[in-house]
Amino acid sequence: MTLRARLLVTRPGFELDLTLEVAPGEVVALLGPNGAGKTTALRALAGLTAMTGGQITLDGLPMHTLAAERRPIGMVFQDYLLFPHLSALDNIAFGPRCQGVSKAEARRAAAALLERVGLAGHAAAKPRRLSGGQAQRVALARALAVRPRLLLMDEPLAALDAHTRLEIRSQLRRHLGDFDGATVLVTHDPLDAMVLADRLIVIENGTVVQEGTPGEVARRPRTDYVARLVGLNLYRGQADGAQVKVGKLLFNTSEHLTGPVFVAFPPAAVALYRSRPDGSPRNVWQAGIEGIERHGDNVRVHLDGPLTAFADITPAAVADLDLTPGQHVWASVKATETHAYPA
């Protein structure tokens, strides 16, 4: 089932214009900052938000002309929206029943789905008796019960604590692998997107700013938002061979390019010194320390000056260098860790 859509939604102060194509069995994640339009896009696909233009086809057949309840979709919401008065089994059987499937058959299918998500023993449980992870799995089973051709998921793991999330994420990945329809999921979380999706579509201000496999997007971010998401320092510059001019600085990079490029390097590749370092082919600049914060086992130093950059260094290095906000330091990054690609 190939999904092809152009989603147009206009609101005062906001415009969504998104072109989307999802192949059978493919999982596409819509990623973007708050207010980018991810949920609006998902709701437009579901028929819950009216479009001001565009079209949606599933295997060539128009879907945007159908009312929400007639669209061949399954939906998993962030807070699951399970019916509180129905058992897990009846929550799952509800959709097929609405499609006219007999009660016995709907319950048989629901039981098989419960088994598939590892909850065969919880058929009679009401949603309030289920843990977050169990409720998430019931919500997924309910979405799949209507045999959807398109599965839509809005922040499907956001309500879970970190530990459960880890477990449910890998289970969800397996279930999505078994699903032969198209899947579109919305997430804030880069890890969810990287693990679950075959392809990422990054939206900012209602339009696509970057698209590609998780690896492509992570290696070559094209906006500040994506760079922060994947933890890279990112700049625009002008390349002339292995050298790239970024503002007033000249960077030596591993690549040979000409014209407008992006330059990226990880915070962990940035070393800090109290006095100007010399030696090996390094890019060196003087920076001010804007802030210092814990970052996992390391310390993230926010640098300003000619470049805004992050440097990840060890707590020992912070102590050795006696770093404090407001100070000036020398920052350096090796040419071999500085990557350029066409902008």
- Window 181-220: contact mask with ligand ATP (x via CB under 6 A): -------x--------------------------------
Binding-site member from 23, 24, 35, 216 for ligand ATP (CB under 6 A): 35
Nearest CA among 172, 174, 151 for reference residue 28: 151
How many angstroms separate the CA atoms of 62 and 55, rounded?
A: 7
Binding-site member from 5, 7, 36, 145 for ligand ATP (CB under 6 A): 36
Asked whether 1 and 149 are in contact (CB, 8 A), the reply is yes
Q: How far is the CB of 177 from ligand ATP (least distance, A)?
A: 26
Binding-site member from 7, 40, 261, 263 for ligand ATP (CB under 6 A): 40
Q: How far is the CB of 282 from ligand ATP (least distance, A)?
A: 39
Stretch in the footprint of ligand ATP (CB under 6 A) among 32-40, 129-137, 218-226, 252-260: 32-40
Size of the site for ligand ATP (CB under 6 A): 11
Rule CB under 6 A: say whether 333 interacts with ligand ATP.
Answer: no
Question: CA geometry: angle at 94 spanning 93 and 100, to 5°?
Answer: 95
Closest to ligand ATP by CB, 39 or 52:
39
Closest to ligand ATP by CB, 73 or 301:
73
Residue with tokens 């065969």: 120
Stretch in the footprint of ligand ATP (CB under 6 A) among 28-36, 232-240, 284-292, 305-313: 28-36
Residue 289 CB-density burial (10 A; 0-12 exposed, 13-18 middle, 19+ buried): buried
Q: How far is the CB of 32 from ligand ATP (least distance, A)?
A: 5
Nearest CA among 258, 261, 249, 266 for reference residue 330: 249
Binding-site member from 11, 103, 129, 256 for ligand ATP (CB under 6 A): 11
Helices (H), the chain: 38-46, 88-98, 103-116, 132-145, 162-178, 190-196, 214-219, 224-230, 315-321
Residue with tokens 């329809």: 181
Rule CB under 6 A: say whether 165 interacts with ligand ATP.
Answer: no
Stretch in the footprint of ligand ATP (CB under 6 A) among 34-42, 107-115, 119-127, 230-238: 34-42
Q: How many residues does the chain have?
A: 343
First to last CA, the chain: 34
Stretch in the footprint of ligand ATP (CB under 6 A) among 36-44, 66-74, 280-288, 303-311: 36-44
How many angstroms separate the CA atoms of 313 and 297, rounded?
A: 9
The amino acid at residue 32 is: G
Closest to ligand ATP by CB, 113 or 230:
230
Residue 39 CB-density burial (10 A; 0-12 exposed, 13-18 middle, 19+ buried): middle
Closest to ligand ATP by CB, 38 or 222:
38
Rule CB under 6 A: say whether 14 interacts with ligand ATP.
Answer: yes
How many angstroms separate the CA atoms of 73 and 18, rounded?
A: 19
Q: How far is the CB of 126 from ligand ATP (least distance, A)?
A: 29
Rule CB under 6 A: say whether 38 interacts with ligand ATP.
Answer: yes
Residues that bind ligand ATP (CB under 6 A): 11, 14, 32, 34-40, 188
